[in-house]
Amino acid sequence: MTARLREEMRASAEGVTPYELYAGALAKARRHRRRQWVAAATAAAILALLAIVAPPLTRPAPAPVAPVDPSVPPTPSLPAKIGAPLWGTPDVTDEPIGPASVAFGSGLWWWGESKGVTALVGASTDAYGTVQNRDVLRAGEHVLLSPDGALVATENRVIDLRTGKDTTLPDLGATPRIPQAWSADGRYLAVVAYKVMWVTEPNGGQTYGAAEATLHLVEVATGQHRKIADLPTRGNHDGWTAAFAPAGGARLAYQSGTQISVVSLDGTLLSRFDMDLGVRLAGKGAWTRDGEGLMLLRQRRCCAKDAYQSRWQLFAVDAATGRDRAEPAVPELAGLVAVRLLGWTNSGEPVITAAYPEPGIAVVGFDTDDRALSISGNHLADYAFVRSARVVALAADGTQRVLVRGPDEDVLSIDVSEAAIASGLTRPGRAPTGLGPYLRRALVALAVGAVLVLTAVILLVIHIGGRRRRRPRYPISRPYPPPR
C-alpha cells in the first residue's frame, strides 16, 4: 500500500461518526419503550371509543316473534312500575310506540329540561315514547289517552300512537283547545276552547288568562264539531269538567259553575241540577258502571292529627235528578292533595289518580286558585304541591291497591287508558335505564374528541423523535488511531 493511499484512507476514516455500542443500545431501548407507550396509549383510546360507540351499533337484533294478527291487538295491561324516560327518548310522531296504557308527566326529568314533555308507556310492552308540548300540560288534565290507548289528545291536537299521525283539532274560535274526556268508542272528544288575553281581576289588577271558555263536542275523524255550552272562566277545572257515559250511553255530563248538566251527543239537554259550592264531577270516569249515576267529589278540611289536614269524599248521585245514591259507596280518602276518578275495574272498584302532597305544604283545593288556565302555579294539582302521583284501586272496605307507581318526583301527573283498567291485568313494568340517546351522543362526541387530541399528541411526539434521530448524536471525541 502506497503512502498516498494510506493518507487518503485515514482522511476518509476520520470523517466517519463512530458508533458507541453502549450508548447506542440505550438509545435503541428508549426508542423501543417510547413506541410501546405510544402503541398502548393508541390502543387504549381506540378501546375507549369502541366501548361507547360499539354497543348501540352492535346491539343484537330483537329475537323473532311469532306472526301477530293485526286485527287482534295485544291485551293491554298496567305496568306496576314506571319511571322517567331517558333523555332524548323519541317523540311518538317520529317513532310511534303503538297503543299506550299510561301517560305521565313531571317537569323534573333531565335536569329540569322536561317542562313540556309527556311520557307514554306501551299498552302491553314497556316501550316508552314522548309527546312534546308547548308548555307544562298535566296528564289526566290536559293530556288524555283514548279509551283503547290508540290515540292521545293534548293541547290543540290528537296523535295516533300507531302511525304517528298528528291531527290538529278544529279551530273552535279560540285557542288553546284543551281535551276533557273521550267517548267510550273513541269517536268523540269533549274539548274546552279558551280565549286567552289580558283580563281585569275583581281587585282591578290585570292578569293574562282566559277571558272566555266554551265546551265543544268534536268528532275526531272528521273534525266536525258542535258547541255544547259556555263555561265560566272561574271555577272551571280541566280534568274535572266533563265525562262521557259508558259504551252505548251516548250522553255527556259536564259542569258549569255549581250546575251539572247531562246532554245527548246532538246537544239536547236531558237533565240539569245544582250542587253545593266546592262539589265537582269526579273526573273522566265519573259515570257509574250502570250508566245511571254520576260520581262527584268534595273536600273536607279537617283532622288536626293528619300530616295533610284534608279528606276527599267520592259520592254518587242520580244522573237524572241529582239525588244521592247509596251505591257505590267509597270510603273517605286521607292524605291526598288531589283525587280524580279514572274508571272502574270489572269487579266494581273505582280506580283513581292519587296525588300525594309535598311535605309541609298548606292545604289546597278547588278554591285555591279558581281561574281557568291560571299561570300563578296555584292550581289544585300543580306540580309545586305534588310529591308523587299513583294509580290506585279502592276496595269497598277501604283497602287501597296501588296499580301504577313511580319514584317520587318522576311521576307528578298520570292518566291511564280505560281498556287497561278494564282488562284487570298488570305486569311488573320496567323503568328505562342507561344513558339515553342524548347522553350517549354527547359521550361519543367527547370520546371522538379525546381520540383526535391524543392522536395529534402522538403524531407530534413521533415527529419530534424523528427530528432528534436525524441529528448526529455521537460526534468524534478523539482522533481515529493511526494504522500500525
Determine the residue type at 209.
G
Same domain, 280 and 316: yes
Same domain, 265 and 395: yes
- Structural domain count, the chain: 2
Same domain, 425 and 443: no
Same domain, 263 and 371: yes
**98 in a domain, yes or no?**
yes
**240 in a domain, yes or no?**
yes
Q: What does the alpha-carbon distance between residue 179 and residue 203 come to, in Å, rounded to a whole number?
A: 31
Nine-digit cell at 263? 246532554
Same domain, 286 and 354: yes
* Segments forming the whole domain that contains residue 50: 3-57+438-470
Are 241 and 180 within 8 A, CB to CB? yes
**312 in a domain, yes or no?**
yes
Dihedral sign for Cα 170, 173, 174, 177, please: negative
Using alpha carbons, list the distances in angstroms from residue 311 to 143, 260, 328, 365: 26, 23, 18, 11
pLDDT of residue 68: 40
pLDDT means per 10 residues in the chain (484 residues)?
73 63 64 67 64 49 39 81 95 97 94 89 96 93 97 97 97 94 97 86 74 96 97 91 92 97 97 96 97 97 92 97 94 96 96 96 89 72 95 94 96 97 95 69 59 66 60 49 54
SS3 (DSSP) at 375: coil
**320 in a domain, yes or no?**
yes
Same domain, 15 and 144: no
Task: Write the CATH number for 110.
Answer: 2.130.10
pLDDT of residue 26: 64
Statement: the pTM of the whole predicted model exceeds 0.85: no
Determine the residue type at 441.
R
